[in-house]
Amino acid sequence: MVLELKDKPGQLLRAIEPISRLGGNIIGVVHKRDRVSPLERISVEISVKIDEGRVEELIEALKRNGVVVKAYNEVRLVASTSLLLVGHIIHTDLSDTVNTIDATGFAEVVEMHISMPEVNEPSTAMVTVSATGKDELKKAVSLLKETCRKKDIMVIEPLNEDLA
Amino acid sequence: MKDVKGLKRVAIAGFGVVGRGLAKALVTKKDVLIKRAGDYRIAAICDSKGGIYSEEGVDVFEAIRIKEKEGRLPEELTVEDIIDRIDILFECTPTNVETGEPGLSHIKLALENGVDVITSNKGPLVVGYKELMKTAKKTGAKLMYEATVGGAMPIIKLVKNELAGNEVLSIKGILNGTCNYILSRMEQEKMPYSQILSEAQELGIAEADPTYDVEGIDAAAKLVILANSLMNSNATFSDVERTGISSITPEAFEIAAMKGYTIRLIAEATRDELRVSPRLVPFNSPLCVYGTLNAALIQTDLAGEVVVMGRGAGSSETASAMLSDFVELSRCGSK
């Protein structure tokens, strides 16, 4: 999230205190002293890992502390990997295949590139799956493999185990 | 078992491309080998139909001439007939991953009789690794098998000797040169599998019936040997999850390349699983090798990652691996 703080001592503490109180973990703080707002406030970018349900609460707490919350966005999916599928991908209900992942709630198909050289010939697709964590990603990949096995689609996995 | 002069009497079982390549190397490299392995003589050669025996040493080039002309060796002779007259058996018969035969019987017989064995045949090890090792332990005979995996690429003795003290956590490798040739040509030429396969067949890189290679059977057999001998597993062929390369499309390479990957048939052994399947391999990975090369990435607890690469097949390459076993045998004290 991007916050604006007054250029006075002790301001950063006002931003950090609610994060700590709500069980958040600060991953990074970037003080952008060159970006001063017309009201002479300084822009600070803070990355926080916090329980999804407490995000709203945190924003309110920051505002109460006099911190201007300029923007925030949730990055939920932190692990991703690409897999290659070869077979009759379209004719075996592609949306159902994708849905196997999307329906989990912890993983999504975020990118897909398909090549269909000829009608009735096998297609090839590069699918990128993102998940909320490494374990979740592994689960999602095995779900996808299971679905593809049933549909006789070959799954070519990446070599590296660290699905980063 | 050695005769009075301390001379080692060796026999070769199987006189196809591998057996003949080995026989030639044993003759042409004799000066060098004697210094490293002690004096030896080829006392017998057996093939599937016959054999040749001479207490004074077989004339190898004459045997090769007869074999190539007649398709067999002249005498009625089996490994059983000569087993009590030799010290080392080179087992070079063709691989059968289901029964292990005829190599399995040859090796059993040799080990039971206290004869050391150097094999290039995967079948017996895939079918009966534990049993053969038990027999060897009982009689004190040694079973060496560097040539069964990766051809000239050193891997078994490398891990057992040079990396001794390490625990092998995983092995990922390209263990079949035919598949690697086909996949690297598909990547470079953007041509379909069937076309590259016929090219490989014409070049003699792929067999007329390519099933054994392209369905990952050969790589799976090698993986079982690596897992059992280097990772202390007790695996059999059916434990390997196996997918071949025949349904890979040329488009697959184009799409994979957009993300920085190519495709190779990778044999992977970890604590939990054994699998042979096409995988996305980053272009900058040490396993992104071209042509018929073999490569392996061994992950260990102390040494970290170790990579080896080399020629995986061919008669002189296989002979190279068998000769290294031969020298090692005398180094570690052949009986």
Give per-residue pLDDT as tens, A120-148: 889 999 999 999 888 999 999 999 999 99
Residue of B243, B251, B279 with shortest CB distance to A158: B279
Q: Are residues A90 and A126 in the same domain?
A: yes
Average pLDDT value for residue range B123-151: 95
Residue B333, pLDDT score = 65
Q: Is the dihedral of CA A6, A10, A16, A22 positive or negative?
A: negative
Is A28 part of any domain? Answer: yes
Annotated catalytic, B222?
yes
CA distance A135 to chain B (A): 16
Task: Kindly determine whether residue B285 and residue A159, on different chains, have CB atoms separated by under 8 Å.
Answer: yes
Chain B residues touching residue A122 (CB < 8 angstroms): 247, 249
Task: Kindly determine whether residue A157 and residue B248, on different chains, have CB atoms separated by under 8 Å.
Answer: no
Q: Are residues A67 and A25 in the same domain?
A: yes
Q: Count the residues in chain B.
A: 335
CATH number of A91's domain: 3.30.70.260
pLDDT for B45-71, tens place per residue?
A: 999 999 999 999 999 999 999 999 999
For tokens 């996995």, what's the residue? Answer: A157
Give the number of A-B residue pairs with CB atoms closer than 8 Å. Answer: 63
Q: Coil, strand or helix: which one is B226?
A: helix
pLDDT for B145-187, tens place per residue?
A: 999 999 899 999 999 999 999 999 999 999 999 999 999 999 9
Overall domain count for chain A: 2
Nearest CA in chain B to A114: B255
CA distance B332 to chain A (A): 37
> B160-311 sits in which CATH class?
alpha beta
Is A91 part of any domain? Answer: yes
CA distance A130 to chain B (A): 15
Q: Are residues A85 and A148 in the same domain?
A: yes
The one catalytic residue in B138, B222, B259, B335 is B222
pLDDT higher than 70, residue B243:
yes
Q: What's the Cα-to-Cα distance from A130 to each of A136, A139, A141, A154, rounded to whole Å?
A: 9, 11, 10, 20
pLDDT higher than 60, residue B1:
no
Q: Are residues A139 and A105 in the same domain?
A: yes
Reported for A105-110, long-range contacts at CB under 8 A and 24+ positions apart, including other chains, are: A106/A131, A106/A132, A106/A133, A106/A136, A106/A139, A106/A140, A107/A77, A107/A131, A107/A132, A107/A136, A107/A137, A107/A139, A107/A140, A108/A77, A110/A77, A110/A80
Task: Kindly determine whether residue B281 and residue A113, on different chains, have CB atoms separated by under 8 Å.
Answer: no
Task: Kindly determine whether residue A113 and residue B285, on different chains, have CB atoms separated by under 8 Å.
Answer: no
One fold for B8-151+315-331 and B160-311: no
Residue A49, pLDDT score = 86
For tokens 């799954």, what's the residue? Answer: A155
Question: How many secondary structure helices (H) and strands (E) does chain B include?
Answer: 13, 12
pLDDT higher than 60, residue B96:
yes
Q: Are residues A148 and A88 in the same domain?
A: yes
CA distance A93 to chain B (A): 20
pLDDT for A41-88, tens place per residue?
A: 888 889 888 887 888 899 999 999 888 888 888 777 778 899 999 999
pLDDT higher than 70, residue B316:
yes
Q: Are residues A97 and A67 in the same domain?
A: no
B191: CB partners within 8 A, 6+ apart: B185, B250
Task: Kindly determine whether residue B263 and residue A84, on different chains, have CB atoms separated by under 8 Å.
Answer: yes
Q: Could you tell me the end-to-end alpha-carbon distance of chain A, in angstroms, rounded to an integer? A: 23
Nearest to B45 by CA among B71, B25, B68, B67: B67
Average pLDDT value for residue range B206-218: 94
Domain boundaries, chain B: 8-151+315-331, 160-311
Residue of B254, B261, B266 with shortest CB distance to A115: B254
> B8-151+315-331 sits in which CATH class?
alpha beta
What six digits make up the tokens of B160?
A: 């057992």
Domain termination site, one of A71, A95, A117: A71
ipTM exceeds 0.90, yes or no: no
CA-CA distance, B49 to B61, in Å (whole number)?
19
Q: What's the Cα-to-Cα distance from B3 to each of B9, B59, B111, rounded to whole Å?
A: 8, 20, 18
Q: Identify whether the C-beta of residue A45 lies closer than 8 Å to the C-beta of residue A29.
A: yes
Residue B143, pLDDT score = 97
**Residue B98 buriedness (CB in 10 A; 0-12 / 13-18 / 19+):** exposed
Nearest to B194 by CA among A64, B202, B21, B271: B202
pLDDT band at A7 (very low <50, low <70, confident <90, very high): confident
Q: Are residues A85 and A62 in the same domain?
A: no
DSSP letter, residue B222: H
User: What range defines the domain where residue A151 resides?
Assistant: 79-156
Residue B12, pLDDT score = 97
The reply to whether B259 touches chain A by the CB within 8 Å rule is: yes
What six digits make up the tokens of A10?
A: 């002790």
Q: Are residues A83 and A151 in the same domain?
A: yes
Chain A residues touching residue B275 (CB < 8 angstroms): none
